[in-house]
Structure 1
Amino acid sequence: MVDTDMEYTRLGDTGLEVSRLCLGCMNFGSDAPWMIDDREQSEAVIERAIEHGINFFDTANVYSRGESEEILGDALDGRRDEHVIATKVHGRMANRPNGQGLSRRHVLEQADASLDRLGTDYIDLYQIHRWDDETPITETLSALDTLVDHGKVRYVGASTMSGWQFTKALYEADVNNFERFVSMQAEYNLVDRHEEANVLPVCRDQNVGVVPWSPLAGGFLTGKYERGEDPTEGRAADDEHTRNRFTEDNWAVLDEVRALADEKETTPVGISLAWLLAKDVVDAPIVGPRTVEHLDEQVAALSVSLSDDEIERLEAPKTPVWSREIGDV
């Protein structure tokens, strides 16, 4: 057993207890070169997470076209009720009409498919992966409400959208007495702070839990990349979104992260995650380790504390700005 003092919190204003770190399962699969593509190694990471006290796992139907859900379901077989499983719906799962989106048909169909792959009777947190411009939000909310009524879903959440869209969804849920979104997955880290000018104020005002994705900016905040060097390994070697973070403002942030890590005798990972964990709007950052060693380093961030002056120092190089183009990734 790993000796870890895991911390827990409530998700948003619900009574659901989740670990302060959520294990992201997008790496578990074979769709991209940066994924693990090794079931045994993936299960080892899940096992180490459980040893650390992590009880919150996030996946999606589109992650390697269901492979991630299958790996997670197999790993949790026999102890499913001890853990909180979150998955998502929206992306294309079939090359035909009604093969993607948030229509009632697709949402209900994909919920059943995810349940089968996960090997479970219920999903703790079912999230819409993106906004669907082609489907009325009331249709989507009605479908999610049906899933809760039938006991297939416990809570519903959302991910990556404009603040006005999320506000509209919360309003429509309230006036129609549909299940309300209790959480928001938002891209949020020290170099991607655009959501501070978009959806995070809505979450704070409405007591919606925030579960940040890409808390280490696709590996940029680990310090693995250097100015002026073309990445030949890691996610940036194959992912344009990660390479687009190689800006002078972001390098300036990383300079402060590295310097503060040296001063506090920790790592850039520890500093970057500690900054997120210090935000009162944040419930549980989604970490996506490829190895148990990476996970151990990420969990160690729970013991790192930052003063107000240190937080201000880390944030100084950038001013949060949001646009639809920034948020729609």
Structure 2
Amino acid sequence: MEFRRLGASGLKVPVLSFGAGTFAGKGPLFGAWGNTDADEARRLLDICLEAGLNLFDTADVYSDGASEEVLGEAIRGRRDKVLISTKTALPMGEGPNDAGSSRARLVKATEDALRRLGTDYIDLLQLHAFDAGTPVEEVLATLDALVRAGKVRYVGVSNFAGWQLMKSLALAERHGWPRYVAHQAYYSLVGRDYEWDLMPLAQDQGVGALVWSPLGWGRLTGKIRRGAPVPAGSRLNETADFGPPVPEERLYRVVDALDEIAAETGRTVPQIALNWLIARPTVASVIIGARNEAQLRDNLGAVGWHLTAEQMAKLDAASRVTPPYPHFPYHRQEGFARLNPPMV
């Protein structure tokens, strides 16, 4: 397993990490993801650790805290062998302080997460969404206090717009507060919006990408084909409305390219899609999920080899879309390209 520094920090993380959204699945969204119990979670963690994967990601909102509880059971007795990432900010109740990133909410949410996880520190605490109702200074000062108290070691964000992340980084620098070192963002062969603003920002500011839903909300599992219905058992049947939309023709164009490369390499479609992501700029770790051992072992097979330049180019071409202004590809014009060469 390859390890990379998480952004501009000294923390090294594996290029594949494990998402615990399938743990203790409850409700219409997480219930469709999976319902892994503590015993099965321990078995999945065993497999991950044997492969060198030691970063496990969860969130308080996953099954109303039950995912953190199951993960806490699975890491019991081996806390020193794992890195734990969790997220907070999304609503956990109907009360006025049950959502957001206020000082009151962040302190309580951190204490609750520590209790559910059965640990006294969180390796990486991420804000699950930007809270427009709380001053950024209040958020950062609270995170600074949590770091100084030893309850949190590194901080990051998830699903931020570029200006929201940059404003936070600038204020952290001005006041000497901890800077965000990670941005957990959606990125896949059928969802490349991350490349327009967030990737150049991450490169410039030293923010590592933790990629969620790298298989395009289940679309790149190898089970979806042109002209065929979505297979029974696919989470797309129940959760498609929750995830990022993808035009059908773009999806099938990408799947066709993946199928061609699978035939050339003997690798599976998910392995190829994950390997492509691992090679992209600013990506620190790609978060994989699995309902069972077979899925996990297949995903772990995405490391230890490389796509050729020609195969990468084929996937790039199949998945490319024209970005909106001001990201329209002016690099086709020599003057614009000299001033601002594209990253990918």
Shorter-chain TM-score bucket reads over 0.9
Q: Distance in 1 between matches of 2:146 and 2:63?
A: 24
User: Superposed, which structure 2 residues align to 1:200-215 within 5 Å?
Assistant: 200-215=199-214
Q: Distance in 1 between matches of 2:276 and 2:322?
A: 15
Q: Distance in 2 between matches of 1:7 and 1:25?
A: 21
Q: Distance in 1 between matches of 2:127 and 2:111?
A: 15
Match of 2:312 in 1: 311
User: Superposed, which structure 2 residues align to 1:286-305 within 5 Å?
Assistant: 286-305=287-306
Following TM superposition, by how much is the alpha carbon of 1:8 offset from its aligned partner in structure 2, in angstroms?
A: 1.5
Instruction: Check whether the contact 2:16–2:285 (CA below 8 A) recurs between aligned residues.
Output: yes
User: Superposed, which structure 2 residues align to 1:63-212 within 5 Å?
Assistant: 63-212=62-211
Following TM superposition, by how much is the alpha carbon of 1:51 offset from its aligned partner in structure 2, in angstroms?
A: 1.8
Percent identity, aligned pairs only, is 38
Following TM superposition, by how much is the alpha carbon of 1:182 offset from its aligned partner in structure 2, in angstroms?
A: 0.6
Following TM superposition, by how much is the alpha carbon of 1:309 offset from its aligned partner in structure 2, in angstroms?
A: 2.2
Instruction: Check whether the contact 2:254–2:315 (CA below 8 A) recurs between aligned residues.
Output: yes
Match of 1:275 in 2: 276
Match of 2:48 in 1: 49
Secondary structure of the residue aligned to 1:284 is strand
Instruction: Check whether the contact 1:99–1:106 (CA below 8 A) recurs between aligned residues.
Output: yes
Following TM superposition, by how much is the alpha carbon of 1:312 offset from its aligned partner in structure 2, in angstroms?
A: 1.5
Match of 1:29 in 2: 24
Match of 2:234 in 1: 234
Instruction: Check whether the contact 1:187–1:213 (CA below 8 A) recurs between aligned residues.
Output: yes
The structure with the larger Rg is 2
Q: Distance in 2 between matches of 1:180 and 1:235?
A: 36
**Residue 7 of structure 2 is aligned with which of 12, 28, 34?**
12
Following TM superposition, by how much is the alpha carbon of 1:322 offset from its aligned partner in structure 2, in angstroms?
A: 6.6
2:36 paired with 1:38: yes
Instruction: Check whether the contact 2:276–2:307 (CA below 8 A) recurs between aligned residues.
Output: yes
Match of 2:338 in 1: none
Secondary structure of the residue aligned to 1:130 is coil
> Normalized against structure 2, the TM-score is what?
0.89
Following TM superposition, by how much is the alpha carbon of 1:308 offset from its aligned partner in structure 2, in angstroms?
A: 2.3
Instruction: Check whether the contact 1:270–1:304 (CA below 8 A) recurs between aligned residues.
Output: no
Q: Distance in 2 between matches of 1:245 and 1:169?
A: 30
Instruction: Check whether the contact 2:217–2:244 (CA below 8 A) recurs between aligned residues.
Output: no
Q: Which runs of 4+ in 1 moved over 4 A?
A: none
The gaps in structure 2 that reach 5 residues or longer are 326-344
Following TM superposition, by how much is the alpha carbon of 1:320 offset from its aligned partner in structure 2, in angstroms?
A: 5.7
Following TM superposition, by how much is the alpha carbon of 1:72 offset from its aligned partner in structure 2, in angstroms?
A: 0.8
Q: Distance in 2 between matches of 1:82 and 1:229?
A: 44
1:58/1:227 CA distance change after superposition, 3 Å:
same
Instruction: Check whether the contact 1:194–1:322 (CA below 8 A) recurs between aligned residues.
Output: no
Give the CA RMSD over aligned residues. 1.6
Which moved further from structure 2: 101-110 or 34-43?
Answer: 34-43
Match of 2:330 in 1: none
Match of 2:257 in 1: 256
Following TM superposition, by how much is the alpha carbon of 1:241 offset from its aligned partner in structure 2, in angstroms?
A: 4.1
How many residues of Structure 1 are paired with residues of Structure 2 in the alignment? 318
Alpha-carbon deviations, 1:89-127, whole Å to 9, x = none? 111112211011111110111000000000000000000
**2:35 is aligned with what amino acid?**
D
**1:278 is aligned with what amino acid?**
A
Instruction: Check whether the contact 2:22–2:36 (CA below 8 A) recurs between aligned residues.
Output: no
Which moved further from structure 2: 152-161 or 46-55?
Answer: 46-55
1:156/1:288 CA distance change after superposition, 3 Å:
same
**1:221 is aligned with what amino acid?**
L
**1:159 is aligned with what amino acid?**
S
Q: Distance in 2 between matches of 1:100 and 1:70?
A: 20
Q: Distance in 1 between matches of 2:228 and 2:165?
A: 39
1:320/1:168 CA distance change after superposition, 3 Å:
farther
1:83/1:320 CA distance change after superposition, 3 Å:
farther
Match of 2:332 in 1: none
